[in-house]
């Protein structure tokens, strides 16, 4: 494969696929996007014409079975991630699947099993974009004991995304499509896990303030099956404590943030409008200081390059291999179980 053209097929040209994956793949020498399939014939045709993709498929199963495709990029909603991924891997195709990995832990485990059965193929989950820029600096600070002993963490994802209940039901509010994940929980937790030890117990509560929303099809109302608000208490290895606040229904909320509190210092990261801002401080400082990260020390989005490098045998996938992504799915599953059972849930779930 290192000396051959890599032929890529796209199943589901959603927003992130158009924004990231298509231009990202096209920027790599020796990579061609040769086929596409969307939910409808009409949308498939629009994407094919807009991006000059030569082959259109009537159904995703035809694309993953095509001998003219080497790798599949899956940009569908989560309800198809498991089925398409497993079919593509079993058809001998490398897979780059949009996050979240699947709807639930069981589907994610099935995907990992199939990937392990096809160990010569690259299987990658698109990582959380949060923390990619400031991550190397934050990781270095933690490694150099800027925080001292990590004690507490706060994860906030509280916005007005779904505050207006007159708007139609969004697919992220439909568990049949979206799965167990709630709001920004999955991507924020994934970012946190790059900087913190894994969780060993969670306790969660949730509320749905508006139980129905206008149907996206335009007639009647549909039940909201994903909570509007979730609060989580978590214990991590080493006794570290974490608090999560997720909401899509509050006005003038704090947005998306991660706070790390240690015995010697504090790091606060804010994600807003595509930028990452880091404030930090240690004992003796009068207040937190804005951390200026030099341009050459900032991380960047390189998902497509990492996928292609792995296929060509140059480097293994780091963000994210299926095992790493499965750990995130396990956490969101535990949160869902805790809400249902009104009890603390221990991790890992299989023990």
Task: Over range 324-346, report the average pLDDT.
Answer: 98
Residue 2 has pLDDT above 70, yes or no: no
Please confirm whether the linkage preceding 248 is cis (ω < 30° from 0): no
Q: Please state, in angstroms and rounded to a whole number, the distance separating the CA atoms of residues 184 and 206.
A: 14
Residue 349 has pLDDT above 70, yes or no: yes
- Check residue 314 and give its pLDDT: 83
- Check residue 86 and give its pLDDT: 98
Q: Which whole-number Å values give the CA distances from 140 to 96, 134, 143, 297, in the listed order?
A: 28, 10, 5, 11
- Check residue 3 and give its pLDDT: 53
Task: Over range 219-225, report the average pLDDT.
Answer: 95
pLDDT tens digits for range 125-177: 999 999 999 999 999 999 999 999 999 999 999 999 999 999 999 999 999 99
3-state secondary structure of 85: helix
pLDDT tens digits for range 41-68: 999 999 999 999 999 999 999 999 999 9
Task: Over range 5-32, report the average pLDDT.
Answer: 96
Which pLDDT band holds residue 248 (cuts at 50, 70, 90)?
Answer: very high
> Which of left, alpha, beta for 107 (phi over 0: left; psi -120 to 50: alpha)?
alpha
- Check residue 217 and give its pLDDT: 87
Q: Please state, in angstroms and rounded to a whole number, the distance separating the CA atoms of residues 48 and 282.
A: 54
What are the φ/ψ torsions at residue 302 (nearest 5 degrees)?
-145, 35
- Check residue 298 and give its pLDDT: 96
Q: Please state, in angstroms and rounded to a whole number, the distance separating the CA atoms of residues 114 and 155.
A: 33
What are the φ/ψ torsions at residue 22 (nearest 5 degrees)?
-65, -55
The radius of gyration computed from the CA coordinates of the chain, to the nearest angstrom, equals 21
Percent of the chain, pLDDT > 90? 97
Residue 218 has pLDDT above 90, yes or no: no
Residues 87/64, Cβ–Cβ less than 8 Å: yes
- Check residue 4 and give its pLDDT: 87
Q: Please state, in angstroms and rounded to a whole number, the distance separating the CA atoms of residues 45 and 65.
A: 20
Indicate the CATH number for domain 135-299.
Answer: 3.30.360.10
pLDDT tens digits for range 282-292: 999 999 999 99
Which pLDDT band holds residue 194 (cuts at 50, 70, 90)?
Answer: very high
Q: Which residue did the predictor score with more confidence, 298 or 3? A: 298
Task: Over range 97-117, report the average pLDDT.
Answer: 98
Helices 322-341, 105-117: axis angle to 10 degrees equals: 160
Q: Please state, in angstroms and rounded to a whole number, the distance separating the CA atoms of residues 277 and 292.
A: 9
pTM of the model: 0.95
The reply to whether domains 6-127+302-321 and 135-299 share a CATH topology is: no
- Check residue 109 and give its pLDDT: 98
Task: Over range 88-104, report the average pLDDT.
Answer: 97
Q: Give the chain's mean pLDDT.
A: 96
Which residue has 């158009």 as its token pair? 18
Residue 351 has pLDDT above 60, yes or no: no
The angle subtended at Cα 205 by Cα 203 and Cα 206, nearest 5°, is 150
6-127+302-321, which class in CATH?
A: alpha beta
Residue 5 has pLDDT above 90, yes or no: yes
Residues 70/94, Cβ–Cβ less than 8 Å: yes
Q: Count CB atoms within 10 A of the CB of residue 36.
A: 29
Task: Over range 191-205, report the average pLDDT.
Answer: 98
Residue 1 has pLDDT above 70, yes or no: no
- Check residue 18 and give its pLDDT: 96
The domain spans of the chain are 6-127+302-321, 135-299
Q: Count CB atoms within 10 A of the CB of residue 335.
A: 29
């Amino acid at each position: 494969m290192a000396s051959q053209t890599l032929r890529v097929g796209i199943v589901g040209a959603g927003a992130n696929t158009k924004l990231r994956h298509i231009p990202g793949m096209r920027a790599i020498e020796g990579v061609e996007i040769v086929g596409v399939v969307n939910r409808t014939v009409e949308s498939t045709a629009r994407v094919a014409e807009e991006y000059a993709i030569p082959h259109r498929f009537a159904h995703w199963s035809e694309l993953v079975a095509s001998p003219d495709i080497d790798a599949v990029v899956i940009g569908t909603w989560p309800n198809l991630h498991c089925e398409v991924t497993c079919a593509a891997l079993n058809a001998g195709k490398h897979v780059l699947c949009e996050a979240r990995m699947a709807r639930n832990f069981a589907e994610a485990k099935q995907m990992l099993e199939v990937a392990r059965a096809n160990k010569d193929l690259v299987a990658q989950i698109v990582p959380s974009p949060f923390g990619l820029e400031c991550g190397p600096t934050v990781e270095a600070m933690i490694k150099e004991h800027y925080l001292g002993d990590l004690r507490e963490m706060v994860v906030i994802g509280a916005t007005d995304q779904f505050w207006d209940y007159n708007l139609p039901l969004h697919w992220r509010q439909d568990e049949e499509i979206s799965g167990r994940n709630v709001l920004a929980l999955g991507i924020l937790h994934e970012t946190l896990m790059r900087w913190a030890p894994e969780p060993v117990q969670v306790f969660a509560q949730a509320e749905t303030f508006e139980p129905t929303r206008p149907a996206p099809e335009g007639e009647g109302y549909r039940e909201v099956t994903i909570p509007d608000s979730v609060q989580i208490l978590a214990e991590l290895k080493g006794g570290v404590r974490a608090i999560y606040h997720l909401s899509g229904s509050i006005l003038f909320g704090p947005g998306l943030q991660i706070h790390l509190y240690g015995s010697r210092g504090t790091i606060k990261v804010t994600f807003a409008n595509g930028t990452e801002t880091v404030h930090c401080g240690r004992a003796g400082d009068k207040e937190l200081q804005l951390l200026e990260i030099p341009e050459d020390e900032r991380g960047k989005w390189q998902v497509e390059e990492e996928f292609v490098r792995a296929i060509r045998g140059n480097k293994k996938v780091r963000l994210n291999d299926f095992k790493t992504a499965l750990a995130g799915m396990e956490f969101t599953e535990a949160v869902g179980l805790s809400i249902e059972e009104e009890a603390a849930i221990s991790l890992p779930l299989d023990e």
